[in-house]
Amino acid sequence: MTPNEKTAADTPLLECRSIERRFGGLVAVTGIDMDIMPGEIFGLVGPNGSGKTTLTNAISGFYPPTKGAIKLAGRDITGMAPHKVAALGVARTFQNLALFNGMSVLDNILLGRHIHMRPGVLRTALYWWLARPEEIANREVVEEVIEFMQLESIRHELVDGIPMGLKKRVELARALVAEPRLLILDEPMAGMNQEEKEYMARFVLDARDERGVTVLLIEHHMDVITGICDRMLALNYGEMIASGAPKEVVKDPRVIEAYIGGARGTG
């Protein structure tokens, strides 16, 4: 490994420093420091209302932090608009499904390629020369991801009628076709049975191992976090309570109290 390669490998893909987000007088998160290295699956956990989604919304640009700084691959993205953050290689799924009912699985996934498309009057007028090659290239990416996520058998079905577990896979597929560097998954296994959870965990691991995607995983299922995450951060009441190796963090008395003790935050 050359010195430059070592430097790149040792540089966090995502850096969050002293992140605070207020909504009026309500402090949703405060004092959050987090580094995610390239190729990691990083877990973010905490009881409902602990600030997990607020933090990811700050990263992706939906709710810019009130204080603090966020860097992606060394570039300051603090307060950057969501579409600009997405163009830099950040994709996400949502805690509540954000699929388009009335559209097929294929069309929903194809929408994930929008950041790579360049619409315009001239390109439409010269479709056969300019737009068609681009459309073919985008569809090739989509078809490859459909195969990767094992969705071939339902590719033409409406998303309205497929089970929850498959809907979650469609949403993950839509995020993957954006070819992100950082993939934020907000409770991708919520509402799944054990078999569906195991399938999804395998897809997350394969996305990292085969596609080189770095993952920020928000999840309530501690067995998933300890099973597939390299490191993790636990929040409660909008503050950091523990971070490090998952098997050590889950033993922390503050984490045990937050979950078993029924603590609830306000963020």
Give 77-96 pLDDT, tens digit per residue: 999 999 999 999 999 998 77
* Position 211 in a domain: yes
- Does residue 209 sit within a domain? yes
9 within a domain of the structure (yes/no): yes
> What pLDDT is recorded for position 168?
92
* pLDDT confidence bin for 245, thresholds 50/70/90: very high
Q: Which residues pair with 44 in a beta bridge?
A: 218, 233
Residue 47 lies in a domain: yes
CATH number at residue 219: 3.40.50.300
pLDDT at 210 over 80: yes
Rounded to whole angstroms, the Cα distance separating 44 from 249 reads 11
Average pLDDT of the residues in 202-211:
96
**How many domains are there within the chain?**
1
Q: Which of 106-120, 122-136, 192-206 has the lowest mean pLDDT?
A: 122-136
Q: Are 243 and 231 in contact (CB under 8 A)?
A: yes
Residue 48 has pLDDT above 50, yes or no: yes
Q: How far apart are CA 80 and CA 65, in angstroms?
A: 10
Say how many residues make up the chain: 267
Among 80-94, 125-139, 221-235, the least confident range: 125-139
Interatomic CA distance for residues 246 and 234, integer angstroms: 10
Residue 109: pLDDT over 70:
yes
Whether residue 208 lies inside any domain: the answer is: yes
Q: Write the DSSP symbol of residue 123.
A: H
Q: What percent of the chain has pLDDT over 90?
A: 72
Note whether residue 136 is domain-resident: no
Q: Residue 81's domain spans which residues?
A: 3-89+180-260
Neighbour-count burial for 164-196, b at 16+ CB within 10 Å, e otherwise: ebbbbbbbbbbbbbbbbbbbbbbbbbbebeeeb
Residue percentage of the chain with pLDDT more than 70? 87
Residue 22 lies in a domain: yes
The pLDDT score that the predictor gives to residue 205 is 97
Average pLDDT (215-241) is 94
Backbone angles phi, psi at 234, to 5 degrees: -110, 135
Q: How many CB atoms lie within 10 A of CB 48?
A: 9
Is 64 inside any structural domain? yes
Contact 105, 156 (CB under 8 A): yes
Please state, in angstroms and rounded to a whole number, the distance separating the CA atoms of residues 74 and 176.
23
